[in-house]
Each structure stands twice: as structure tokens, then as C-alpha cells.
Structure 1
Amino acid sequence: MIDLSTLDAYGTLTEPTTLTIQRLLPGPIERGWAYLTESDLRRQWMASGDMEMKVGATFELVWRNHELTDPPGERPEGFSPEHRMQSRIVDLDPPHKLTITWGVSGEVAFELEPRGEKMLLTVTHRRIPDRDILLKVSAGWHAHLDILVARVSNTEPAPFWENWSRLHAEYARRLPA
């Protein structure tokens, strides 16, 4: 059992190419599930895209990070206003687990566990191909989860791109080269 009093907001490498990051969120678990699976709610913290809830179903995620916060902050060089990614559901156990493909080689699992009136969200991103992408996805998951926490807590999130840039530098210090 995870000691929730020591839960760190930063992701950790649980294997050389696997990042795991957790957040304790207000419950109930069905609310968290809705924020993971319903396009209109997911777009408020990460990316839109309708999903058919069955293993093998394909879908497209569409990121528009400049729409996540007001103001959005200054977008770093190399990022476009919109990013699209084809994905597929590879594991599904509503409302506890959703695993999807990530690009052509990666995979992301979202797991929700009830913790009294709260829920523990664990995001595990597997098969990250190199350090540059590791730093981008580490900062990305952290920044997106910060927005999710703000949304479900009815608070205003920090500007997305400023938070992402700060986190990218912090992960460069924290994660081994």
C-alpha cells in the first residue's frame, strides 16, 4: 500500500524506459474515470478525442495546450499549436484501468484506486525511446496532471507552458542522463 503522506508530485523512473507519476484527487472514482475517458472533460486538462470503450478501439487524441489555461504562457520552440496522435485501447477495466497505445511504440496506463473519499491516479508511461522524449513526457504528464488537479478541485491552474518549461528543467536535473 502506498503511503499517501509521502506522495511526491514528481514522476519517477520505475524502469529505465518507464515513467510513473501519481496524484491524489477528490473522488468519487467515477468522476476520475469520466475525466480520463470523456473527450469534453479530458480536453480540459490534456487532449480531446472520442473513445469507444472497448479493447482494440482506435481513436485520435488532439492537444491544444494553449487552450488549457488563461493565459497559456509562451509556447516553447518546437511545439505547434495543435498535436494529433492515433491511439488504441489495449486494456480496459472501468472505472479502474485504461491502457492505451502512445504513438507507434509507447503505452500509457491510467489506474484509479479509491482512497476513502479520494482516489489515487497512477499514470505509467512505458517504452519511452530516449532521454529527450523522457524529459518532454515527464514535464508534460506533470503539467497536465497539475491542471487536472486544479480542474477537479475548482481552482485556477498555473499557465500551462510556463509550468511545463519549469518542470522540463527540473526533470532534466532529477532524472539520470
Structure 2
Amino acid sequence: MDDTDLGTLERHGDRAVLTFTRRFPHPPERVWRAVTRPEHQAVWFPQQIVGERRAGAPLRFVTSVDPDESFDGEMVAYEPPRVMEMTWGASRLRIELHPDGAGTRLVLTEEMDDVGAAARNGAGWHECLDRLVARVEGTEPLRWGRRWRQVHPGYVEAFGPDGARLGAPDGWDADLPDDPYAPRFPHHPDP
């Protein structure tokens, strides 16, 4: 694992802020499409995001692995092709795209209530972002859960015991089915 890809953790009492940075050799508009369009999100985001792409819109996050675990949120900011921010359950998730030379620098932050979930969520976002990179680059991502298991020990070590009180999400201790999220969008055109 390349430690430069590890997310960082800032603690503010019982709150935690995870931050991740990825660079793409593509313009922000291309990365934005991969970040925001449902047919591309199906490759990298852990749930289907149902709702309008506009500030103030109610959202529903639906997982095809267990639809009973769906939850609500709200689109807080939506400024193409720069910012998408939403409440995601009890967390706040923000994705920013910045021009970076001829490419794009993506910054993802999750502000969360439970510092103890930091290593679990850090490994989860790490996997999601690796899948986003694969999507933008047109390569095949690893099966869901595999990358999480590879990087989770690094997050446990980096964030310490109080940042690692929660283990793998249900079912992520083994490879998930071929791709439990793909059936929503069987054809994934390039972003």
C-alpha cells in the first residue's frame, strides 16, 4: 500500500474528519461526470444516490446488498464541476474538484460523529476512491471488500485503538458477490 494514498484523521472531541486526496490526469469535467452521474457512481459509491442533484434536495441512499439498510440525507451543496456536499446518514460528505495543472485534484472529506469508526470508514473511502480512479482510467476495479481488507490494517495503525473500535461492515470480511452494485447499471460508458 502506498502510504501517500492514506486518508488523514483530525479529531475534534467526539467528532472526526477524514480527508482523502487523489489526483487525476484528466480535466475536472471528466472527473465530475464520474463522481456525480448515477451510471458511474454505481462503480465506486457504496450506495445508489436517489434524488435530484441540487442544493437542498432530499436524498435516499439505497444499497442493493441490503435495501433495508437504506437511509436518508440531503444535498447540501451542488456546484458543477467543483463541489458536491451532502448529509450521509449522521455524517457530512464533501467532494471537491480543483484544477491541478492539466489534471484534477479531488478532495473527499467525511465529518462523522464516531471517532471509533474512523479506520473502518477510512478503509472504505480508500476502496471507493480506488474504484473511482479505476472508473476514470477505464480499468477494472477490485471486487468490493478486497481493497478494504488490504488497507484497513494501515488505517488501524495510523488512527490508533480509539479510531478503530468498529470492524468491517457486514459481509466485507470476504469478497462480496461479483459486484453487488453493478446490476443497477449493466453498461458503464466512459465518463
Task: Classify the TM-score, shorter chain.
Answer: 0.7 to 0.9
Tell me by how many angstroms 1:81 deviates.
5.1
- TM-score calculated relative to the size of structure 2: 0.73
1:1-177 alignment runs, 5 A limit: 8-16=4-12, 17-46=16-45, 47-64=47-64, 83-103=69-89, 105-131=90-116, 133-176=117-160, 177=162
Cα-to-partner distance string for 1:26-83 (whole Å, 9 max, x where unaligned)? 322112111222111111111322441221101222345xxxxxxxxxxxxxxx5555
Cα distance between partner residues in 1 of 2:140 and 2:120: 23
The 3-state SS of whatever aligns with 2:5 is coil
Cα-to-partner distance string for 1:82-123 (whole Å, 9 max, x where unaligned)? 5523221112222111110020x3101100001122111100
Return 5+ residue gaps in structure 1 as ranges.
1-6, 65-79
Return 5+ residue gaps in structure 2 as ranges.
163-191
- TM-score calculated relative to the size of structure 1: 0.78
Q: Per the alignment, do residues 10 and 128 of structure 1 end up closer, same or farther by CA in structure 2, a change over 3 Å counting?
A: farther
Residue pair 1:128, 1:134 contacting (<8 A) in 2 also: no
| 2:172 match | none
How many residue pairs were aligned? Answer: 155
Cα distance between partner residues in 1 of 2:113 and 2:32: 25
The 3-state SS of whatever aligns with 2:44 is coil
4+ residue runs of structure 1 moved beyond 3 angstroms? Answer: 80-83
RMSD: 2.1
Q: Per the alignment, do residues 55 and 136 of structure 1 end up closer, same or farther by CA in structure 2, a change over 3 Å counting?
A: same
Residue pair 1:19, 1:126 contacting (<8 A) in 2 also: yes
The 3-state SS of whatever aligns with 1:144 is helix
